[in-house]
């Protein structure tokens, strides 16, 4: 392993039951009750559940009808994203006091590289403690923190004793810790993969480690290399402070969900205009077109195409966008939102003209 990678100090911060905790903070009468943030309607979805609700088996991304069956007294509140976003900015300000190397993953979650920390605290654990205390003081909310020597283990650590926990996985603990870890607790192993692994006799990290790279690739495709690495406690992905993900996009949410191609294509038409006009006005020429569909259960898919030359005009944008859309058909569920974006911009400035040599 690269010695610099071995010396990294990474913290993963994850707010506990974030949306639900904000609602409890702002409405004390909700405290201690089983609470779900999300839509209570027939086709609503739970976006976050308080720990009280989780006791009944209520989970985020669960259909609200299912949640209500599990917990008949479940209280639903509508999400207030503008409040969550404001809290998110406050916690990022706390992170920024300690390190410039911050990779936000969600409104309530981020990786920090604190190999060098701005306040000169002696250890990463001390930084994590300070961050948790500052978040509580500034927002009245509780964060869990995981401290380790890579992102994978920091993420596992923040989840390990949640809620209201700080957990550290040191380099000497790492391999044994991963070996004992149930496969379902590996970040990147979802319920479907977990079931598949269990059918194959993989219950823990130790079982996973017994599989060689080739067999993992054959069985799990491109994820095989990741499983091979993390089964050994390896993860060399850096914390990415500045995601260069400039894009110009537009999206629209439907009043009624639909799975009909014609309707979706018609909804895209004004978005092509808007996005093309936006890029054109800035003189930006993009090589990548990305289509996004969000479904009624809030799952989403994106499809992108990158060209060797910039998208020439609005007609070309439309042709690529519709092609990406038709590639998603037939849809197995209805969509609630469609979006299109341009990215991969060419540098705007012209090349410097060649300096004609005057001779020596």
> Site for Mg ion (CB under 5 A): how many residues?
4
**Residue 37 φ then ψ, to 5°:** -95, 125
- Shortest distance, position 339 Cβ to Mg ion, whole Å: 25
Residue closer to Mg ion (CB basis): 167 or 220: 167
108 is in an annotated binding site: yes
Q: Is 109 a catalytic residue?
A: yes
- From the list 24, 109, 134, 318, the catalytic residue is 109
Q: What SS3 state is found at 5?
A: helix
Residue closer to Mg ion (CB basis): 103 or 318: 103
- Shortest distance, position 98 Cβ to Mg ion, whole Å: 19
Q: What SS3 state is found at 277?
A: helix
- Shortest distance, position 109 Cβ to Mg ion, whole Å: 6
The residues, ordered by sequence, that sit 6+ positions from 225 with a Cβ below 8 Å of its Cβ are: 213, 216, 217
- Shortest distance, position 159 Cβ to Mg ion, whole Å: 9
Residue closer to Mg ion (CB basis): 102 or 197: 102
212 is in an annotated binding site: no
Q: Where does this chain touch Mg ion (CB under 5 A) — which range of 11-19, 47-55, 212-220, 261-269?
A: 11-19
**Contact by Cβ (8 Å): 249, 340:** yes
String marking each residue 106-135 x if it binds Mg ion according to CB under 5 A: --x---------------------------
Residue closer to Mg ion (CB basis): 18 or 220: 18
Q: Which DSSP string corresponds to 97-117?
A: HH-S-EEEEETTEEEEE-SS-
The residues, ordered by sequence, that sit 6+ positions from 281 with a Cβ below 8 Å of its Cβ are: none
Q: Which of residues 92-111 bind Mg ion (CB under 5 A)?
A: 108
- What does the block give as tokens for 210? 């017994």
Q: Which of 52, 50, 49, 18 is nearest to 158 (CA)?
A: 18
Q: Check residue 23 for interaction with Mg ion (CB under 5 A).
A: no
CA dist 1 and 278 (Å) reads: 45
CA dist 134 and 120 (Å) reads: 16
Q: Which helix (H) or strand (E) holds 177?
A: helix 174-180
Q: Check residue 14 for interaction with Mg ion (CB under 5 A).
A: yes
Catalytic annotation, residues = 109
Please state the residue numbers annotated as binding site for Mg(2+). Answer: 14, 108
Residues that bind Mg ion (CB under 5 A): 14-15, 18, 108
């Amino acid at each position: 392993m690269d010695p610099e990678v071995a010396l990294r100090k990474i913290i993963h911060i994850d707010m506990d039951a974030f949306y639900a905790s904000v609602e409890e903070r702002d409405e004390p009468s909700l405290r201690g009750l089983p609470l779900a943030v999300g839509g209570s309607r027939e086709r609503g979805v739970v976006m976050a559940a308080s720990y009280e609700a989780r006791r009944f088996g209520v989970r985020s991304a669960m259909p609200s009808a299912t949640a209500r069956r599990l917990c008949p007294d479940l209280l639903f509140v509508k999400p207030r994203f503008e409040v969550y976003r404001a809290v998110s900015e406050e916690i990022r300000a706390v992170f920024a006091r300690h390190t410039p190397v911050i990779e936000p993953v969600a409104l309530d979650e981020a990786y920090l590289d604190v190999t060098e920390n701005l306040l000169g605290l002696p250890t990463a654990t001390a930084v994590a403690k300070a961050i948790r205390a500052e978040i509580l003081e500034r927002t009245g909310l509780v964060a869990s923190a995981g401290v380790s020597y890579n992102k994978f283990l920091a993420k596992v650590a923040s989840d390990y004793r949640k809620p209201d926990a700080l957990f550290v996985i040191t380099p000497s603990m790492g391999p044994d810790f991963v070996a004992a870890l149930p496969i379902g607790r590996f970040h990147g192993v979802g319920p479907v993969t977990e079931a598949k692994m269990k059918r194959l006799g993989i219950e823990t990290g130790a079982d996973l480690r017994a599989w060689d790279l080739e067999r993992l690739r054959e069985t799990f495709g491109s994820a095989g290399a990741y499983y091979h690495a993390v089964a050994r406690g390896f993860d060399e992905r850096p914390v990415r402070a500045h995601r260069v993900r400039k894009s110009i996009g537009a999206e629209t949410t439907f009043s009624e969900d639909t799975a009909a191609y014609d309707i979706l294509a018609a909804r895209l038409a004004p978005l092509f205009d808007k996005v093309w006009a936006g890029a054109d006005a800035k003189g930006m020429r993009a090589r990548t077109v990305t289509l996004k569909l969000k479904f009624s259960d809030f799952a989403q898919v994106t499809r992108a195409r990158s060209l060797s030359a910039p998208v020439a005009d609005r007609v070309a944008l439309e042709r690529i966008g519709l092609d990406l859309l038709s590639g998603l058909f037939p849809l197995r569920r209805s969509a609630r939102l469609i979006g299109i974006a341009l990215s991969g911009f060419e540098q705007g400035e012209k090349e410097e003209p060649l300096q004609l040599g005057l001779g020596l």
